[in-house]
Chain A
Amino acid sequence: QQQVRQSPQSLTVWEGETAILNCSYENSAFDYFPWYQQFPGEGPALLIAIRSVSDKKEDGRFTIFFNKREKKLSLHITDSQPGDSATYFCAALGGGTGSKLSFGKGAKLTVSP
């Protein structure tokens, strides 16, 4: 059973636009949601994370919006740059899952100059 779902699977935006990546989850016990950025041939790098007590987390051009009632969250990347082109993974942890992260399948973002 897929615990974490991401959409779209791929997204192309122009440089300077805002990219929006969506994520939803099944387990209402999840309380920590990190987003990871992965470039080809590299490991996933922790980008930004939010806990379920918050509805928004901002770090520079990256913002997570979180809706606990609907079990949805989204990652907004404002003023997208070609260097943001990567695969982004939404993940979740908490409750009865202990400390193991459940990952979505990833979203490939391409930022065209």
Chain B
Amino acid sequence: GPKVLQIPSHQIIDMGQMVTLNCDPVSNHLYFYWYKQILGQQMEFLVNFYNGKVMEKSKLFKDQFSVERPDGSYFTLKIQPTALEDSAVYFCASSFMGGDEQYFGPGTRLTVL
């Protein structure tokens, strides 16, 4: 199926530092998403993004979080500053239309020490 790429696959940082997670979505997709999965728990929606704007966000999408996709490059999730509870696997997804099939990347495992 369509491929979503995520860079890096793992990231270890100290609490309080900034981190940027990168996503290369499917080329013709217009909607982009971030989900968070803590070990052993279900995937939780963070945010979706369309036409340069955040469309929806959950309560997990704290003020320290931001997303952007400058000029069709990577779709990024930035956390500044990080907290211990941000440790999780973050999955990027994309879809052609909202409410359409969402395709997920392999995830970035973030460890905050």
The interface of chain A, by Cβ under 8 A from chain B, is 4, 32, 34, 36, 41-46, 49, 89, 91, 93-94, 98-106
Contact = CB atoms under 8 A, between A and B. Distances in A.
Categorize the interface residue count of chain B: 20 to 34
A43 B105 contact: yes
Scoring A32, A94, A99, A104 by chain B CB atoms within 10 A of each residue's CB, the highest score goes to A99
B41 A98 contact: no
B63 interface: no
A61 B70 CA distance: 42
B14 interface: no
A104 B43 CA distance: 8
Interface of B: 1, 4, 6, 31, 33, 35, 41-45, 48, 55-56, 58, 91, 95, 98-107
**Interface pairs A-B: 6 shortest CB-CB:** A99-B98, A100-B45, A43-B104, A103-B43, A43-B106, A105-B42
